[in-house]
Amino acid sequence: MGFVILLLSILILAAGVGLAVATFASGKRSAHAVLSHRLASGDIDVEEYKQRLAALGPSRAGAAWVPAVILIAIGLIGVLVFAFSSMGKGPMRNMMGGMGGMMNGGMDSMMRGRTDLTAPEPSPGASEVVITAKEFLFAPREIKVKRGETVNLVLDNRGEAFHTLTIEKLDFQIETEGGRRASGALTADRSGSFTVICSVPGHEEAGMRATLIVE
Ligand SMILES: [Cu+2]
């Protein structure tokens, strides 16, 4: 949009300059200019010049410049408007983009929990550990895996809402809409007890919490 305005302004500006040149050229050929020239070259004397000038009436040379001046003014204003608006655009856009990103991130995490975590694709042949999710719990509440062993964790979302199965300490998350399944390969390389939650805000507090025990 801004670019179109700039292009239009430049065209108007060019037209104005063109008209100014034409006005200047035609001014040189105007009756008044011819009279002045004839006076200067001694073709006519001052008396005759004055008589002819009076007969011609007032010069319109000034008025001839009006359209050119208007066009140039409009063109310049357009270019300036574009310059000013694009001056604010760089940082402005970044700011707006940042704000938009923040808002999107906020909205996203409201609806979808952690958006920065994923899980590797399920590993073919690995054993499956299915965890059922619904509003608002996981079942079972405790799962066990062996350290170093790859298992495919399956989130069976039997609820209505979007849920995640998130193990923050292992950077692991699978997620899915209600009524669907998601799975990912989990290889825990250290033993211990890890908290499993749904990362959608409020869901953990509502009861979507389980424990992964790595033996
Ligand atoms: Cu949830």
CA of 158 to the centre of ligand 1 (A): 11
What pTM was estimated for this model as a whole? Answer: 0.52
CA of 164 to the centre of ligand 1 (A): 6
CA of 213 to the centre of ligand 1 (A): 21
| 202, 192 contact by CB (below 8 A) | no
H/E stretch holding 54: helix 46-56
Residue 14 has pLDDT above 70, yes or no: yes
Per-residue pLDDT tens for 130-166?
999 999 999 999 999 999 999 999 999 999 999 999 9
Percent of the chain with pLDDT over 70: 78
CA of 108 to the centre of ligand 1 (A): 13
CA of 186 to the centre of ligand 1 (A): 20
CA of 5 to the centre of ligand 1 (A): 49
CA of 128 to the centre of ligand 1 (A): 21
CA of 181 to the centre of ligand 1 (A): 13
Identity (one letter) of the amino acid at 195?
T
CA of 86 to the centre of ligand 1 (A): 44
CA of 168 to the centre of ligand 1 (A): 15
CA of 98 to the centre of ligand 1 (A): 27
Query: Please, is 133 exposed, middle or buried when counting C-beta atoms within 10 Å of its C-beta (0-12, 13-18, 19+)?
Result: buried
Residue 171 falls in which region: left (phi positive, over 0), alpha (psi -120 to 50) or beta:
left
Per-residue pLDDT tens for 72-116?
787 777 666 666 566 545 455 444 544 544 555 556 666 788 999
